[in-house]
Amino acid sequence: MANLPELIDGLPNICGSEATIDQAIQSGKEKPLAQSPGAVDFNNIRAACAVALHQHQPLIPAGGDDLQTAAIISNLQYMMEHQDIGDNHNAPTFVWCYKRMGEFIPQLIHEGKSPRVMLEYSGTLLYGLRQMGEGHVLDALQGITMNPDYNWAVEWLGMPWGHAVAPSTPVQDYRLHVQAFQHHFAALFGTEALERVRGFSPSEMALPNHPDVAYEFVKTLNDCGYQWVLVQEHSVEQTDNGWHPQRPHLPHRLVCTNSKGETASILALVKTQGSDTKLVAQMQPWYEAQGLQRWELAGKQVPPLVTQIADGENGGVMMNEFPDKFFEAVHGASGSDTPLMNGSEYLEQLFAMGIKESDLTEVRPVQQGKIWEQMQPGDGPEKLAKVIEELKQSDHQFHVDGASWTNDLSWVKGYDNVLGPMEEASSAFYENVLKPGTSSDDPRYRNALFHLMSSQTSCYRYWGQGLWTDYGREICRRVMAIIEHDFG
């Protein structure tokens, strides 16, 4: 197992070991998941449930009073240091939320139970925890990720390092986010743990629906070794009829074709319903699974999987009620005919039954059907741009901003004053750092990349205009200054 340093020159290890990372990913593809002490008897269950916890804190220029000189620190650190403002008094509880699975999983396994959880932590959160001296959280997570007594119950999902939203992040930058997370994860938990990271969770459940961007999104996941992606049910449509997924508790194939006629596909697990954290906090997916029976798929009877993800720290119900509900569900599910399972475990068991990828229903990003009614794949990007413009004029519901947790949230509208500097910083990085072929283990490259990815976190376009958009613009300004100083 390769040992990678977690920090280099005070920055997280986000680039420079591409060959080592790729070797671990390729090695992982060839290995089945280890049969665990808590293995599920897949042939004799009715249904299963998979829950994922999404954990994120952005990095913000708030380590000082002057915005232009303030150190970049975790928003969690700022909350800790200013607990008298707003909801910042929740900061210590948030730290506990980030750590507690590291305690719950061993406790339940020692009780003879069969817990499961999927974890998704942003790179900015993981780095921020180390930076602010909360290393005990990372120690607890390493325990359940690296120790074979426990890691069979825990599946980590990949994500973009800086919590960037795919529909409005330049595709070459999004790829860097995906690769940076793999670097950082391997540095924290080891390359052996990286071999087991097979599923991907897009930030804010944001799926691009512009055909060329959606294709690049799936191609990036394929190239980076991911085998499946989590999608929100309202962000996709069945390719054959344009409907929402009719059997969302079965896996699908997400197939994305671009204007040049190139196609990329990946397995998709469908997260149902909206963005209500109470769904996971109260373990509703498990109760839903108890009401299901096996479904027919390709002539076989297979157990459906109820899949759900939610913020792991936000909201009183998640902070306070989740622990008891999780323990209650694990106790009830262990050894039952409606167990908890993780996504990769479920897919591996499903394919072991003889189900093939071609048996799964094909879906595409929502709204794409309207585009392909007006043009053919291969007609090219100019024709695509023309068709999109015509559809925007004739159909007020049509857009290619992507789709996410909720249909009424745009990552583009109203954020020109952030998107402009973001695009400028991205272009400067591409032209002056990426295109000239600067080595990815060059400290100047790492510093510029760290700031670029930090500037692209979704939070700068979530809370509306004000301090958060100021933060985003300031980090973009620093990207430009770094590139001018180091590469100008």
Sheet strands (E) in 371-413: none
pLDDT value of residue 371: 97
pLDDT value of residue 255: 98
- Examine the domain organization and report whether 206 and 106 are in the same domain: yes
Both tokens of residue 172? 């070459």
- Which CATH number is 149's domain given? 3.20.110.20
- Does a structural domain hold residue 390? no
- Does a structural domain hold residue 358? yes
- Does a structural domain hold residue 194? yes
pLDDT value of residue 411: 40
- Does a structural domain hold residue 399? no
Residue 74 main-chain phi, psi, to 5 deg = -70, 140
Both tokens of residue 199? 């599923």
Secondary structure percentages of the chain, helix, strand, coil, to 5: 45, 15, 35
413 class by beta-carbon count within 10 Å (0-12 exposed, 13-18 middle, 19+ buried): exposed
Last residue of a domain, one of 332, 363, 394: 363
Both tokens of residue 193? 């743990």
- Examine the domain organization and report whether 135 and 243 are in the same domain: yes
- Examine the domain organization and report whether 275 and 157 are in the same domain: yes
- Examine the domain organization and report whether 453 and 355 are in the same domain: no
- Secondary structure of residue 59 in the 3-state scheme: strand
- Examine the domain organization and report whether 345 and 457 are in the same domain: no
User: In what helix (H) or strand (E) does residue 228 lie, and over which residues does it extend?
Assistant: strand 228-232
- Does a structural domain hold residue 457? yes
Last residue of a domain, one of 363, 383, 403: 363
- Examine the domain organization and report whether 453 and 326 are in the same domain: no
Query: Of 60, 164, 134, 24, nearest to 456 (Cα)?
Result: 164
CA count, 13 A, side-chain hemisphere, 255: 16
- Examine the domain organization and report whether 483 and 353 are in the same domain: no
- Considering its fold, how many domains does the chain have in total? 2
- Examine the domain organization and report whether 208 and 342 are in the same domain: yes
Residue carrying structure tokens 């954990």: 55
- Examine the domain organization and report whether 111 and 255 are in the same domain: yes
Give the residue ranges of the chain where pLDDT is below 50: 406-415
- Secondary structure of residue 83 in the 3-state scheme: coil
Who contacts 65 (Cβ-Cβ below 8 Å, separation ≥6)?
none
pLDDT value of residue 275: 67
- Examine the domain organization and report whether 28 and 86 are in the same domain: yes
Go through the chain and tell me how many residues it has: 488
- Examine the domain organization and report whether 167 and 299 are in the same domain: yes
- Give the residue numbers spanning the domain of 320: 19-363
pLDDT value of residue 367: 94
DSSP assignments along 255-275, one per residue: EEE-TTS-EEEEEEEEEPS-S
pLDDT value of residue 278: 84
- Examine the domain organization and report whether 184 and 247 are in the same domain: yes
d(CA 404, CA 421): 23
